[in-house]
Structure 1
Amino acid sequence: MSSFGKLFRVTTFGESHCKGVGVIVDGCPPGLQLTESDVQVQLTRRRPGQSKLTTPRDEKDKVTIYSGTELGYTLGTPIGLMVSNNDQRPNDYSNAIVYPRPSHADYTYLEKYSLKATSGGGRASARETIGRVAAGAIAEKYLKEAFNIEIVSFVSSVGDISMYPTKIEEYPKFWELIEKVSRDDVDSNEVRCPDPEYAEKFRNKILETRGQHDSIGGTLVCVIRNVPSGLGEPCFDKLEAQLAQAMLSLPATKGFEIGSGFAGTTVNGHIHNDAFVMKENGKLGTTTNYSGGIQGGISNGETIYFRVAFKPVATIGQAQKTCTYDGTEGELAAKGRHDPCVVSRAVPIVETMSALVIMDNLLIQLSRQAASSYLKKDNIPAPLVGKLPENTSTEENDS
């Protein structure tokens, strides 16, 4: 479906080579100061043609707000946003009318709908993510202003070159990075990697791949700080499950892991368990964060972090053997303008998609707390609220 979220609900529309793409945002709280410039920041970070590492398609991706605001403030009504498609070249895709492009959605869309868009990837194109980014930018603004929630993503690997920890003992140093990394650090280079040494390695790998008229994959890390505890809806809408769905709904994604992920399977529980401690702010916290800020599907107040894998871009300049829809063998070489590696442009997409998940869950939890506040709860048994009854020993009884 083209809609996402429950209370903060977004519906994207448009194809890669139609007149424009956009989004309807329903459920934004009224009174948020909002203009096009607030949304444009992330759209500009996502736009094509930023460097030699991205597609040369020249789209300014200038957003227009059509509804839901007045005098620079949200009204609480649906917000309509749209971005025009200006630099279109549908003729670049003439061969795709008869050839299903390798690893694209041409064949599967035709199987599903019995017809497909004749140019570009249609709804499967990464251009669809413009609507997500615009909606997520609104969510980000509310989360920052109301709860000081910070979301930062960065490139952690390109091809077989990786700065991501592979062993459990490497995670404490990695936690230091995710607690301090900022968007300024990430945007200090065109690769969007906060480590200058790795950024140069990644850049060279992407340029080498582009020179071969080929593509390469990579991974992104996303960090979400200052998330209140209690977000997430067990059992089927656990917070990490919603984040995974959000990330794997993005074009070209092939993997998701949160916290220690697969590395956590290599050690014993006494190493991996995150012990609780009372922190300086008077709230419980954990001494380690292998859980990635989520336990039992619910945020625990620690920093949330996860990693997303993006496959090599399917459209490449090299000729590839394939066949037409009627089975005739042939050869197909792409004429379109495409990224040799998507990860640097995917950074704002991952950030804003994360914002949509956190925003929706935050509104759900706030509504639950508001409804609960009207109840008289003086006689709730102590064990139900994490307290021992009076005159009860905390020592185990062996008798």
Structure 2
Amino acid sequence: MSTFGKSFRVTTYGESHCRSVGCIVDGCPPGMQLTEDDIQPQMTRRRPGQSAITTPRNEKDRVMIQSGTEFGVTLGTPIGLIVLNEDQRPKDYGNKTIDLYPRPSHADWTYLEKYGVKASSGGGRSSARETIGRVAAGAIAEKYLKLSYGIEITAFVTSVGAVHMFPPTSEFPTPSQNPAFMDLLQTIDRATVDKFLPVRCPDEQASKKMEEYIAKFRDAHDSIGGTVTCVIKNVPSGLGEPCFDKLEAELAHAMLSIPATKGFEIGSGFGGCEVPGSIHNDPFIRAPDDSATAEYGAARNGVPRPKLTTKTNNSGGIQGGISNGAPIYFRVAFKPPATISQEQTTATYDGESEGVLAAKGRHDPCVVPRAVPIVEAMASLVIMDNLMQQMARHEARRHLPPLQQTVAPADNGVSMETS
């Protein structure tokens, strides 16, 4: 379906070459200052035409708020967001060859099988153009998360093809075992990531290699995939809805809904399978007194900071499907873009004959640099939705008589109280 979330609900609309794309955001808390200027920075980071290694499609992606705010303040009513498609070129796809043949690895065939009709130009709803609504909605969620709990979400490119920022080794089969990677998660922010354009890999040597690697495939009219890592800091403990809506399951759902994704791993991920439990387990220790966390958490919302934290973080900030207060980090794999200018063999839609198809249009040779803000947006939607569910739970519990015997204080967790 085209709607994501339960308490903070986002419905996107639009195809790759229609007049506009956008979304409706339902459930945004009232009373938050919000203008287009809060949303546009992420839209600009996602837009095409950013560099020589991205699609040359020239879209400014200017977002316009249509409803849900007045005098720059959210009303609590649905927020309508629209972005015009200013440089759509459906004529690039209007030829008999494309009408006869489904493009290899595209959604042409499967959309036709499902709906009995498909968009004749571009990828339709399977195009990355659809993600504009996600990024716009994510920017709204991010502002609330930052203002209310100091939550920060940063994604960055960690591999392109065979070029890795943190290549696996026998000593460090998973980045969670690599001190350099774990230190990076503590300090990385978007300003730092964007210093390493056009690839958005925050390592000078690796970034240069990746840029050259992508250019090689672009010049050969080919494409290449890669991975994006995301870290979410200052997340309150207690978020997640076991058993079927565990926080990592929600994140996986969100990430694998992004076009071109092929894999998701959280914490130690697949490399953690090579580490014995005696090393992989995260021992609990007393949480340090962090004034920065207190400023956003306990001081602003009456949220008691976790008394415990973990010495290591192979779990990726989630245990039992519930956030434990440590940074949440995960990695998303993106396949090589399906559209390439090389001639490829394929079959006609009726399967009666074979032919050769050379795709036209403007496309990325590698999607990971532009996928960074999309990953951040989907992460923000998951955290926002789970935060609102937990806030509702604790507000409902707050009206009950306190229990005499509990494992932890009755007010432990997310609270709607302010100080």
Question: Which residue of 2 is the match for residue 59 of structure 1?
Answer: 59
Question: Which residue of 1 is the match for residue 211 of structure 2?
Answer: 203
Residue 285 (1) aligns with residue 309 (2): yes
1:181 to 182, 188, 198: 188
Cα shift at 1:164: 3.1
Instruction: Give 1:240's aligned amino acid.
Output: E
Deviates more, 1:325-334 or 1:109-118: 325-334
In structure 2, distance between residues paired with 1:71 and 1:384: 43
1:322 to 346, 350, 374: 346
Cα shift at 1:96: 2.2
Give per-residue Cα distances to partners, 1:71-96, cap 9 Å, x unaligned.
00000000000001111111211332
Question: Which residue of 1 is the match for residue 140 of structure 2?
Answer: 138
Residue 180 of structure 2: SS of its match in structure 1?
Answer: helix
Matches within 5 A, 1:107-122: 107-122=109-124
In structure 1, distance between residues paired with 2:248 and 2:225: 23
Instruction: Determine if contact 1:165/1:171 at 8 Å carries over to the other structure.
Output: no
Give per-residue Cα distances to partners, 1:136-168, cap 9 Å, x unaligned.
000001101111100000000000111235214
Question: Which residue of 2 is the match for residue 222 of structure 1?
Answer: 230
Question: Which residue of 2 is the match for residue 389 of structure 1?
Answer: none
The verdict on how the C-alpha distance between 1:330 and 1:32 changes in structure 2, with shifts beyond 3 A counting, is: same
Instruction: Determine if contact 1:96/1:119 at 8 Å carries over to the other structure.
Output: no
In structure 2, distance between residues paired with 1:382 and 1:339: 55
Deviates more, 1:93-102 or 1:260-269: 93-102
Deviates more, 1:342-351 or 1:322-331: 322-331
Instruction: Give 1:321's aligned amino acid.
Output: T
In structure 2, distance between residues paired with 1:384 and 1:31: 33
Question: Which residue of 2 is the match for residue 350 of structure 1?
Answer: 375
Matches within 5 A, 1:148-187: 148-164=150-166, 166=168, 167-168=173-174, 170-187=177-194
Give per-residue Cα distances to partners, 1:208-232, cap 9 Å, x unaligned.
1100000000000001000000000
1:313 to 330, 337, 350: 337
Question: Which residue of 1 is the match for residue 400 of structure 2?
Answer: 375
The verdict on how the C-alpha distance between 1:377 and 1:192 changes in structure 2, with shifts beyond 3 A counting, is: same
Instruction: Give 1:5's aligned amino acid.
Output: G
Residue 313 of structure 1: SS of its match in structure 2?
Answer: coil
Residue 184 of structure 2: SS of its match in structure 1?
Answer: helix
Residue 264 of structure 2: SS of its match in structure 1?
Answer: strand
Instruction: Determine if contact 1:110/1:116 at 8 Å carries over to the other structure.
Output: yes
TM-score scaled to structure 1, two decimals?
A: 0.95
Residue 349 of structure 1: SS of its match in structure 2?
Answer: helix
In structure 2, distance between residues paired with 1:337 and 1:351: 25
Matches within 5 A, 1:20-39: 20-39=20-39
Residue 266 (1) aligns with residue 289 (2): no
Residue 153 of structure 1: SS of its match in structure 2?
Answer: strand
Give per-residue Cα distances to partners, 1:31-68, cap 9 Å, x unaligned.
11100111111000000001001000000011110000
Residue 129 of structure 2: SS of its match in structure 1?
Answer: helix
Deviates more, 1:189-198 or 1:94-103: 94-103
Matches within 5 A, 1:10-21: 10-21=10-21
State the Cα RMSD in Å.
1.3
Residue 332 of structure 2: SS of its match in structure 1?
Answer: strand
In structure 1, distance between residues paired with 2:409 and 2:277: 27
In structure 1, distance between residues paired with 2:116 and 2:55: 30
Residue 230 of structure 1: SS of its match in structure 2?
Answer: coil
The verdict on how the C-alpha distance between 1:383 and 1:351 changes in structure 2, with shifts beyond 3 A counting, is: closer
The verdict on how the C-alpha distance between 1:140 and 1:205 changes in structure 2, with shifts beyond 3 A counting, is: same
Instruction: Give 2:121's aligned amino acid.
Output: S
Cα shift at 1:280: 1.8
Matches within 5 A, 1:292-303: 292-303=316-327
Question: Which residue of 1 is the match for residue 300 of structure 2?
Answer: none
In structure 2, distance between residues paired with 1:171 and 1:19: 47
Residue 120 of structure 1: SS of its match in structure 2?
Answer: coil
In structure 1, distance between residues paired with 2:406 and 2:329: 34
Instruction: Give 1:54's aligned amino acid.
Output: T
TM-score scaled to structure 2, two decimals?
A: 0.90
In structure 1, distance between residues paired with 2:205 and 2:143: 32
Cα shift at 1:251: 0.2
The verdict on how the C-alpha distance between 1:84 and 1:383 changes in structure 2, with shifts beyond 3 A counting, is: closer
Cα shift at 1:173: 2.2
Residue 249 (1) aligns with residue 257 (2): yes
Instruction: Give 1:239's aligned amino acid.
Output: L
The verdict on how the C-alpha distance between 1:165 and 1:283 changes in structure 2, with shifts beyond 3 A counting, is: farther
The verdict on how the C-alpha distance between 1:384 and 1:150 changes in structure 2, with shifts beyond 3 A counting, is: closer
Cα shift at 1:382: 4.0
